[in-house]
Amino acid sequence: MNNICLILEYEGKNYNGFQKQKSLNIKTIQGELENAIFKLTNEKIKTIGAGRTDAGVNAEKQFVNFFSNSNIPPEKFSLALNNLLPKDISVKRSFLVPNNFHARYSAISRKYKYRILVDKNRSSLRRNLVFHCPFYLNFEIMKNEWLSIVGKHDFTAFCKSETNRKNMECNIIETTIDKKDDEIILTIKADTFLRGMVRLLVGTLLSISQEKTNKTLIEFIKNKEKNKFIFSAPPEGLSLVDVEYPKEFGIFIL
């Protein structure tokens, strides 16, 4: 069997996240993808995603792998699947990977981006790609706070309660913040993320930037307890933008 890797791009607005649900009536990215693969190969396979993005969250570079007995050349899967997938899901590339490659467990880091539209007026064209914030945000405060969280921390305070995870430590490898025209763009790269962690961090950052609280992000992290100022930013502004793998898999050249 061939281990096929796909790089997906999708708009999450119409889906209840990446992960397939028990109910067939709930639309997910994974469900749509597996249905398309079945139509193409007549194989009932299970796909593995690098990140289990939540409902409404987008992806610019989501890695997925699956095993197939099909005679279709690995590089041809992208075009064939794009003819079967909904318009808001596309396969950017497809290629063969070693049998020991696992899109989720082989990853050594993931990178997310959060876009905030800072304007009194909303955008119709970007409505599913940015969070519209009509209020003043102190960019300098945001910058200092966002850059301060680099390093290894216990993010218990920034995790959705529905989790079986015991180790709540994450190593934040890099954070950036830029202001481009009417948008503030945040990025965060880490070895691992907790459920809902990025949106909870961004939501709290917005409270801090509007000076609704005197606490810093680091203080919230060290406190390890949920606080009324810790809230989840809307999903539409968040995108999975990259996943890093060990060089042995050769994916670093993509």
- Which DSSP string do the residues of 29-98 spell out, in sequence order? HHHHHHHHHHHHH------EES--PPTT-EEEEEEEEEEE---S-GGGHHHHHHTTS-TTEEEEEEEEE-
Q: Give yes or no for a contact between 18 and 200, defined as CB atoms under 8 angstroms apart.
A: no
Look up 191 and say whether it is catalytic. no
Residues pairing with 237 in the sheet: none
What one-character DSSP code corresponds to residue 16? S
Q: If you search the block for the tokens 């959705």, which residue do you land on? A: 160
Closest CA to 207 of 226, 185, 232: 232
Report residue 129 as tokens: 């790609």
CA R_g for the chain = 19
Q: Show which residues are catalytic.
A: 54
